[in-house]
Structure 1
Amino acid sequence: MLCEPDFTNHPAFEVRQPAEQRVPFVFNSPHSGRYYPERFLGMSRLDRISIRRSEDYFVEELFSGAVPLGAPMLLAHFPRAYLDVNREPYELDPRMFGERLPPYVNSRSIRVAGGLGTIPRVVSEGIEIYGKRLPVAEAQARIANIYKPYHQTLRDLLAQTHRRFGFAVLIDCHSMPASVRYGQDGVRPDFIIGDRFGTSASRELSEAAMSILSGMGYLVTSNKPYAGGFITEHYGRPLKGLHALQIEVNRGLYMDEPTITKKASFHLLQEDIASFISQLMSLPDSNFFDYSVAAE
């Protein structure tokens, strides 16, 4: 029935757990999934390479050092082109469907207008995914069977972490195209730290993340053009001891995008990110997570 066969023989997502969670961190990689169900490929007008344009290629591998350091990682196997969990549950584009959408759907968001809703209409560069309109039930099935369980799993991880340590830090892991430029000078950032302009995490945490990466020789900016999506906004509640940072890694550092292949520098970047994670995890011994102090 609809999307049920898509992940019968392959999990839609998984949690990679350390032997023991030793730190108040949870890592999340919602866009690096690369299992494309045959039924979905049959619905698409794109070939097997073009449909991958929306992936955060290899991001779960880049951040894999978090798990041996004591933090769980939730990661998607379903691709972003199939379902985007970094959106509200019902950001849907009426142009994609053959029937009228239910009244609770948000069809007017900027993300929907760009074709990048919960069920995306396009991959990057505005390339249309589908050759014909979908039944509304298709979207409802993906949201009920995958989106909602994914977010329930993320909520559970954060709640367990908060109960154990008194606070929790979500690191939402992403990649950005090598073509991204910022500012009047057209500078290409290596990393962008997003905290929803100071609302999803303490200022000290964000500044520490930027300082660590800058100290390693990387060019780091904050919030522009990526401040964080639904996940960062929804789960970042610093006044309640829940901090969320989005980290964007420039793909030009580690891969060739047209061929979707890793560069020789991939493992060096992976080691640097593991070092960054280790240093970031050392912060809870200070006041970096006391938002009442940070906000004064």
Structure 2
Amino acid sequence: MDKVLSFHQGRLPLLISMPHAGLKLTPAVDEGLVDAARSLPDTDWHIPRLYDFAWELGASVVAAEYSRFVIDLNRPEDDQPLYVGATTGLYPATLFDGEPLFKEGKAPSAAERASYLERIWRPYHDTLREELLRLRDQFGYALLWDAHSIRSQIPHLFEGKLPDFNLGTFNGASCDARLAEQLQGVCAEAVDFSHVLNGRFKGGYITRHYGQPCDGIHAVQLELAQSTYMQECEPFAYCEQLAHQTQGVLRKLLETMLAWKPAA
């Protein structure tokens, strides 16, 4: 059977989701991509490596195997837009810079895309839902950290340079306000980095859909500027010295999340 995701079950009430870390392509997508897309530039590069301490912390981890160029796991299945202005959909048609993703007439067919929804999107979301419910049943609450990264400058999507750490809680709807405040405090202490809460990236479908504090599930998205840990242009190399410092902040964020408890 085709492997569409990797999953590790942890021992504490935290699930880390990595929906845009995948690099695999289907034959139809591989055949149709324009030359500028062949290096998969819009990938959340090296996210599993950057979070390689998560297993030690006791977190559960689910990561996509397929590229977002096949199907975007952080979009709703009805493909309703999540952001005002330029964005990409469930089946991306453009690169982040606005250029076409596929050669003319070479985009996957509707039938192929329907199969991606069933074979790739649904298993990922089934895994998310089932693990969050398992954690909530075991601990009384569940925590979801949706781990992303993006180039720090993409004029087509946002003006200027993105802050280093972009926390999103869907304007406070996806997690307890005290938890968000504590996470902001961690970022504020990391004086070598900039941060924002609910700026350009407020949380995508995963954060918005699964983050239901009234039901005991608290979700936070982190959109991390790739300039904090890697080379932002080809060959998209991981920079160990940069990444080490960034990992220290990530670890503190997740430790803070794990130390937090909902009010009785």
TM-score, structure 1 length as denominator? Answer: 0.79
Shift of 1:40: 2.5
Contact (CA 8 Å) 1:178, 1:251: kept in 2 or not?
A: yes
SS at match of 1:178: coil
Shift of 1:233: 0.7
Q: What corresponds to 1:64 in structure 2?
A: 52
- 2:117 and 2:84 map into 1 onto residues whose CA distance is 16
- The one-letter amino acid paired with 1:126 is G
Q: What corresponds to 1:215 in structure 2?
A: 189
Q: What corresponds to 1:96 in structure 2?
A: none
The alignment status of 1:228 with 2:203, answered yes or no, reads yes
- 2:36 and 2:211 map into 1 onto residues whose CA distance is 37
Number of equivalenced pairs: 256
Q: What corresponds to 1:262 in structure 2?
A: 238
Distance 1:279 1:123, change over 3 A: same
Q: What corresponds to 1:199 in structure 2?
A: 173
Kindly, what percent of the aligned residue pairs are identical? 26
Q: What corresponds to 1:102 in structure 2?
A: none
SS at match of 2:21: coil
Q: 1:34 aligns with which of 23, 29, 33?
A: 23
Is the deviation greater in 249-258 or in 261-270? 261-270
Q: What corresponds to 1:247 in structure 2?
A: 222
Q: What corresponds to 1:158 in structure 2?
A: 132
Write out per-residue CA displacement over residues 60-117 of structure 1, whole angstroms, 9 at most, x where no aligned residue. 22222222111101100101111101111131xxxxxxxxxxxxxx5xx366984611
Q: 1:45 aligns with which of 34, 51, 67?
A: 34
Q: What corresponds to 2:9 in structure 1?
A: 17
Q: 2:148 aligns with which of 156, 163, 174?
A: 174
Is the deviation greater in 251-260 or in 275-284? 275-284
Write out per-residue CA displacement over residues 109-161 of structure 1, whole angstroms, 9 at most, x where no aligned residue. 36698461111111210121222143210111000111111100100010000
- 2:24 and 2:243 map into 1 onto residues whose CA distance is 21
Q: 1:138 aligns with which of 102, 108, 112?
A: 112
Contact (CA 8 Å) 1:176, 1:250: kept in 2 or not?
A: yes
- The one-letter amino acid paired with 1:77 is E
Q: CA RMSD in A?
A: 2.4
Which 4+ residue blocks in structure 1 deviate beyond 4 angstroms?
A: 47-50, 110-115, 185-188
Is the deviation greater in 275-284 or in 153-162? 275-284
The alignment status of 1:87 with 2:75, answered yes or no, reads yes
Write out per-residue CA displacement over residues 209-262 of structure 1, whole angstroms, 9 at most, x where no aligned residue. 111122132322111100001111100111111111001111111111112012
Is the deviation greater in 30-39 or in 112-121? 112-121
Write out per-residue CA displacement over residues 10-43 of structure 1, whole angstroms, 9 at most, x where no aligned residue. x21111233xx1x211110101112234542112
TM-score, structure 2 length as denominator? Answer: 0.88
- 1:141 and 1:203 map into 2 onto residues whose CA distance is 39
Unaligned runs of 5+ in 1: 1-6, 92-105
- The one-letter amino acid paired with 2:77 is P
The alignment status of 1:147 with 2:121, answered yes or no, reads yes
Larger radius of gyration: 1
Distance 1:112 1:141, change over 3 A: farther
Q: What corresponds to 1:278 in structure 2?
A: 255
Distance 1:111 1:145, change over 3 A: farther
- 1:252 and 1:173 map into 2 onto residues whose CA distance is 16
